[in-house]
Chains A and B, each alone.
Chain A
Amino acid sequence: MELPDGLLSTACAFCDSPLVDHRLEETERPDRVVPFRVPRARAGRALAQFLAGEWLAPEALRRAIRPSELSQVFVPFYCYDALVRSEFTASVGLYWYRTETYTTTVNGKRVTRTRRVRETEWSPLSGSHARRWFDHLVSASTGVPEEEANQLEPFDLGLALPYGPALVAGVPAELPTVTHEQALKVAGEELAALERKTIAQSHLPGDTHRRLQSSSRVDVDVVRLVLLPIWTAVYPGPSGPVRLLVNGQTGEVVGAVPRSTWKIGCLIATVLGLIGGFVAILFAGTALSTLMVGLAELLGAR
């Protein structure tokens, strides 16, 4: 029997018995599998909770407690161990304090006081940073774009098991649709960004910094293909189906929920109304006080 294109394993449509394509296993054999820890019921609850919190979403979508389709799938990810070395230049700021005298009025008298004013002294610095990064994940599926995958993370790869057909049998497991070259490029860019963040947060000396520039060289030690557990849910939305993803290990929900234009319109109208009302009160108050002053002057003149 042939499996649908792009799948390594699935369940038989007729008898629901687990199927694994052993020919594909030889060419695209995954290295590790993270098993599902979130059962169907918990994934459903997580989705309902997530939608309930999205109060700008169309009401029809928020009330859809049950997705029309909730299915589990093993999504392939490339997992990188890499040694990254970076060079950086930055302007490092060190604080110093000067004492300033100023005059002020206290109880109608002018007095001279002193205060401490913080100044920053900037010095250029160039240096380097190195770090070994482990288990950096890049989505190998065009169905789960890298941006969405990053939001779904983290996955605890410490709980991953060495791949065996028994681990994926009965659950659809996708084959990689992103090439090694594409994924490697993404990994390099992401690791360079992580390095830059690490340099900014925990490597630069001093009190503050600006104009940080860094360039990184990524040496990949190990690439593994791992299968990660994901629940996919599809809801009928007003303008096409809405797809949400649930991390099958942590229960984290990710997905772009459409905003109701009607609700946003109401919100804008409310805010504008409030501002308008406030301005009107201000104007009325000013006019009233002018009137009172005028009246008082009039009475005083008499």
Chain B
Amino acid sequence: MSELAAVRCRACGGAVVARATAPLPTCLFCGGIASDLVPYEPPEDVEPPEGALPFVCTEEDARQAFRTFARSSFWYPSDLRSASLDLRMLHLPAWAWSGELESHWTGLVRASTRSGKRPVAGAESRHFEQVLVPASPSLTIAELAALGAFDESSLVAFHPSRAEIPYELSEMTRSAARQAAQREMSRRHRAHLEASHALVKSRLSSVCLSMQGRPVLVPVFIGAYRYGDQVYRVLVNGQSGELQGSAPISLWKVAFAVLAAAAALAGFALFVLSCTGALAALGLM
């Protein structure tokens, strides 16, 4: 088994670890050229991944997801479906946290009072298992959130020395990850409390107890395709097959739609005028 090599893209800053025998031809994040990928020494205070979620989807599933995506909007160009998609497997860094959340809440419920509401309060503890928070420096939280949920229960141990799939290096420290996890647990607990107590409005103060976290990897397919002279990026959840990405808008279709709308408007105007007899009066009919 060959050595692992960490490289960082000088253009976008994305850092990836891959087998030295299978070097990356381009930057996976920005499509930057290979000469921009320079050797990289990860900072010492960032912990290496200890667990990983396995891939469930095959590459063919991911391609199928792209074809569905290309058909999903009328405005995308028709030949998008046949665009050649450069697709690669990639493990993205995340943190998995387990712990107990003790939430003290207040809120309002609907009631037959003058104001139509009544204040309520309570406290509830809830155990959370393997809550994932993204730790990828090159992808936005919104991009990862759009990928949908990963199955946190399928977490298996991961040894960097046995990594077959390239993985991105995290830059998130334990304390930052812990804070992000607490925010995510609070968000989930609030949603649960609002639903179970039928709260109209809620306020939550919570503290985490016995939190345990470890850096892990989540599976995605990262794809880039060229349309015209632009490169577009798509991400496919390696477990659920959910796709997130951007696509060009067909200028022809937009122009045609504008013309069609203008024609329809003109036709309608003519119709109204003919009904009122204005055209006849003008001697046109």
Are B102 and A206 in touch, CB under 8 angstroms?
no
Closest to A198 in B: B205
Are B207 and A131 in touch, CB under 8 angstroms?
yes
Are A130 and B104 in touch, CB under 8 angstroms?
yes
Cα separation A246 to B123 with both chains bound (whole Å): 44
Consensus secondary structure, chain A interface: strand
CB distance from A220 to the nearest CB of B (A): 14
Cβ of B146 under 8 Å from chain A:
no
Cβ of B115 under 8 Å from chain A:
yes
CB neighbours (8 Å) of B201 from chain A are: 205
Cα separation A83 to B206 with both chains bound (whole Å): 11
Are B114 and A96 in touch, CB under 8 angstroms?
yes
The contact of A94 among B117, B120, B122, B205, by CB within 8 Å, is: B117
Closest to A209 in B: B119
The contact of B119 among A125, A129, A130, A198, by CB within 8 Å, is: A125
CB neighbours (8 Å) of A261 from chain B are: none
CB neighbours (8 Å) of B118 from chain A are: 94, 123
Please report which residues of chain A, range 197-215, place their CB below 8 angstroms from some CB of chain B when the two chains form the complex: 198, 202-206
Closest to B108 in A: A205
CB neighbours (8 Å) of A55 from chain B are: none
Are B104 and A205 in touch, CB under 8 angstroms?
no
Cα separation A53 to B105 with both chains bound (whole Å): 45
Cβ of B138 under 8 Å from chain A:
no
Cβ of A270 under 8 Å from chain B:
no
Are B115 and A96 in touch, CB under 8 angstroms?
yes
Are A121 and B121 in touch, CB under 8 angstroms?
no
The contact of B116 among A92, A96, A125, by CB within 8 Å, is: A96
Cβ of B153 under 8 Å from chain A:
no
Q: Per-residue CB proximity of A91-134 to B under 8 Å, as 1/0?
A: 01011100000000000000000000001010101111111100
Are A128 and B121 in touch, CB under 8 angstroms?
yes
Closest to A94 in B: B115
CB distance from B73 to the nearest CB of A (A): 42
Are A127 and B104 in touch, CB under 8 angstroms?
yes
Cβ of B21 under 8 Å from chain A:
no
CB distance from B210 to the nearest CB of A (A): 13
CB neighbours (8 Å) of B166 from chain A are: none
CB neighbours (8 Å) of B113 from chain A are: 94, 121, 123
Are B205 and A205 in touch, CB under 8 angstroms?
no
Cα separation A132 to B101 with both chains bound (whole Å): 12
Chain B CB within 10 A, most for which of A119, A128, A132? A128
Q: Which residues of B contact A (CB under 8 A)?
A: 102, 104-108, 113-123, 201-203, 205-207
- Told that A96-B114, A130-B205 touch, could you supply 18 new A-B pairs with CB distance under 8 A? A83-B207, A94-B114, A94-B118, A95-B115, A96-B116, A121-B114, A121-B115, A126-B121, A127-B123, A129-B205, A130-B102, A130-B123, A131-B205, A132-B207, A203-B106, A205-B108, A205-B119, A205-B120
A-B contact pairs, 17 of them (CB 8 A): A92-B119, A95-B115, A123-B119, A125-B106, A127-B104, A127-B122, A127-B123, A128-B104, A130-B104, A131-B207, A198-B205, A202-B203, A204-B203, A205-B106, A205-B108, A205-B201, A205-B202
A-B residue pairs, 7 tightest by C-beta: A127-B121, A94-B115, A96-B115, A92-B119, A96-B114, A128-B104, A125-B119
